[in-house]
Structure 1
Amino acid sequence: MQLELRHLEAVCRIAEAGSLGRAATRLGVSQPALSAQLRRIERVAGGELFFRGRSGVEPTPLGEFVLERARRVLGEMDALAAGARAVAQGAGPLRLGCILLVLVDELLGQLDEVTSSQSVSVELEHSVTVLTRMLGAGQYDVILYGEVNDHEVPLPEGTLARTLIAREPFCVRLAATHHLAGRAEIDLADLAGEPWMTLVEDDDGGPEALVEACARAGFTPDLRHRITDRKMHYDLIAAGRAVSLTQPTAPAAPGTVLRPLAGDPVTGRIRLAWNRSAVSAEQADLLYRAAVRAYLANLDNNPFHRAWWDARPELHPRPAP
């Protein structure tokens, strides 16, 4: 693991808040998730960054060192974004940041059709925290992101958001040779003992939702792999070495099958947020409609999701694109 801006942001928020609980609230993540992230950061830094006590946390000498430089780096990044935006004066393309959602592939073609008067640049990130920070700093004009179960991503000031897909049930991808692959629907409890591929994003509520759902099913998931490369991800599953949660619109992959989970224990939302000073209401509506069409284009990838979707018209985007 390498330190990223979101990790520096987390360290600064912990120091400012004086406790992991308050910092987690400000960052919009759970305290266990932030604690786990801090442990990973400390492993990279080479030691503890905070003293833990009953009254909260205080930086260690190593923590003070990291904090000083983290604040400098984050300040420089904010200054860079603001300066670049001032120089550009809005003459460049509309900048769209996304996490790795299934609809992104189809979205590129849809954008060409609806934004002929202005080009759109698209960049992928693996962190919702990074997306929202860059939106607030003016490095993105629009972001497309997901939230899992009841998690809500805090957005920076000066932004507006619109829900694209109010709810979709995560399903499970497993090897075609898996002993459960022949079932039409799988109980989460039947996946106890399986090695899991962790979700790429660790700040959208997904990891916590999976752990909580597994706890309700009576087991703790073995979160063994975290792989961002799609082909490697699919190959590992096809080899029977992992199972993973995935969006129900995900495409087929050789050697794997997708199956719905009984009772929809983990669900997601897809949202669009934009900077009011950079994106007009008309532009935002065009982007929303393009994203809706991109999502709908993938509905028939898996018949079980098409049936689920058709049975819930109240969840369909309004107005229709």
Structure 2
Amino acid sequence: MQLELRHLEAVCRIAEAGSLGRAAALLGVSQPGLSAQLRRIERVTGGELFVRSQHGVEPTPLGQFVLSKARRVIGEMDALTAGARAAAPHPTLRLGSILLVLTDRLLGHLEQELPGHEIEVNTEHSVTTLTHMLGAGQYDAIMYGEVSDHEVPLPDGVAARTLIPKEPACVRLSATHPLAGQDQIHLADLAEETWTIIVEEDDGSQEAMVDACRRAGFTPKLRYRIADRKMRWDLIAAGRAISLCQPTSPHAEGTVLRPLAGDPLTGRIRLAWNRSTLSEDRARLLYRAAGYAYLDNVPHNTFYRSWWEARPELHPNLD
């Protein structure tokens, strides 16, 4: 076996994550699969690259040497890719997004803002994965959310701009739920409910939700972790769980969306881009497209339309 770029990236991810489990999650592979791959890499390099400790894994002297060379090779490859893309007349826009509602409407506006350009949009379940892929040059730009005071750390060489500085969280519940007829719901009234959340929420939402519920006098029962939107909504429609949602979420059969009284949870939406692969002008056009896509979704929720119109200071500047 010869070492390939993917092997060097795996070694770097293990070192950055500090554990095989976290590295496997970032790489989108199983931990046993990553362990087997590491053993094959170590056979080629001639010795162990990491040792286990009480804090996770740490590189051996051989591992430090391999890491220093691997980072240099990966950096050169990233520079080659970025240079080639910068020289291309109309490079493909590679956009990564967390599961944000505005993604549904984004493509139409991107076609208007960037006519004739190829566009590639992928969704991820993890903000950490998005930022790593952005830093590695695998995405030109990413859209993601942050909840409460949580700030997503961004890699070097990345610029960021806030699209929506504040939006209130709503709760989605079954249309037959006893609270479904209320105009707004107090968080404390949901103390006995079972919640469903996204598989890997590393945007601060889970921590913020737990903190808000504790302030309301209870600890939420987080039972279902489901990434598929339709599966989550079907579960809610059946009355088996409830979920936090963006206020711009569209109607889902058998469910209702209600605001939480007092806005105990708020989030924001941000756009970040790799300066070496995306020009300021294209980043501005992407921001405009994302802003218009968000505005398309505001009318979905009567409560939110009123909330939004009363706060012009939160509206994105799309001029």
* SS of residue matched to 1:290: helix
1:199–1:245 CA contact under 8 A, matched in 2: no
- Check conservation: 2:15, 2:59, Cα contact below 8 A: no
CA distance in 1, matches of 2:135, 2:192: 41
TM-score (norm: length of structure 1) = 0.78
Q: Distance in 1 between matches of 2:192 and 2:220?
A: 7
- Give the superposition deviation at 1:79: 7.6
Within 5 A, what are the aligned runs for 1:169-318?
A: 169-318=168-317
Work out whether 1:12 is the aligned partner of 2:15. yes
Q: TM-score with structure 2 length normalisation?
A: 0.78
Paired residues, number: 285
Long gaps (5+) in structure 1: 1-5, 17-35
CA distance in 1, matches of 2:123, 2:157: 22
Asked if the contact 2:141–2:274 (Cα under 8 Å) also holds between the matched residues in 1, the reply is: yes
Contact between 1:133 and 1:156, CA under 8 Å: does it hold in 2? yes
Which residue of 2 is the match for residue 106 of structure 1? 105
CA gap of 1:247–1:201, structure 2 versus 1, over 3 A, is farther
Which residue of structure 2 lines up, in the alignment, with residue 133 of structure 1? 132
Cα distance in 2 for partners of 1:258, 1:8 equals 45
Q: Is the 8 A contact 2:233 2:252 kept in 1?
A: yes
SS class of match (1:245): strand
Runs of 4+ in 1 over 3 A off after TM superposition: 6-16, 49-52, 74-92
Over 3 Å counting, the alpha-carbon distance change for 1:218 and 1:79 in structure 2 is farther
Alpha-carbon distance change, 261 to 138 in structure 1, aligned in 2, over 3 angstroms: same
Structure 1 position 277, deviation (Å): 1.6
Equivalent in the alignment of 1:156: 155
Following superposition, the deviation at residue 84 of structure 1 comes to 5.2
In structure 2, what is the Cα distance between the partners aligned to 1:58 and 1:302?
A: 46
Change (3 A) 1:303 1:78: farther
CA shift in 2, pair 1:230/1:273, >3 Å: same
**Does the residue aligned with 1:298 lie in a helix, a strand or coil?**
helix
Q: Residues 290, 44 of structure 1: CA spacing in aligned structure 2 closer, same or farther, 3 A cutoff?
A: same
**Matched-pair contact (CA < 8 Å) for 1:82–1:137:** no
User: Take 2:235 and 2:308, find their aligned partners in 1: how far apart are those partners?
Assistant: 29
Q: Deviations over 1:258-289 (max 9, x none)?
A: 00001111111101111112211111111101
Q: SS where residue 144 of structure 1 aligns? A: strand
Is this contact kept in 2: 1:199–1:207, CA < 8 A? no
SS of the residue corresponding to residue 225 of structure 1 reads strand
Supply the AA of the counterpart residue of 1:315: L
Q: Deviations over 1:21-47 (max 9, x none)?
A: xxxxxxxxxxxxxxx979x99x966xx
- Quote the sequence identity (%): 56
Cα displacement (A) at 1:12: 3.5
Instruction: Give the Cα–Cα distance (whole angstroms) in 1 for the partners of residues 212 and 99 of structure 2.
Output: 23
Counterpart of 2:203, as a letter, is: D
Supply the distance in 1 between the matched residues of 2:308 and 2:12 (Cα, whole angstroms).
38
Q: 1:181 to 1:158 in 2, by over 3 A?
A: same
Q: Which amino acid in structure 1 is aligned with residue 112 of structure 2? A: E
Q: Secondary structure at the match of 2:160?
A: strand
Greater mean alpha carbon deviation, residues 218-227 or residues 250-259: 218-227
Partner of 1:25: none
- Given that 2:82 and 2:277 are in contact with CA atoms closer than 8 Å, whether structure 1 keeps it comes out as no
Distance 1:167-1:132 versus aligned 2 partners, 3 A rule? same
Q: Output the CA distance in 1 between the equivalents of 2:217 and 2:10.
A: 32
Distance 1:313 1:87, change over 3 A: closer
CA distance 1:179–1:310, shift in 2 (3 Å): same
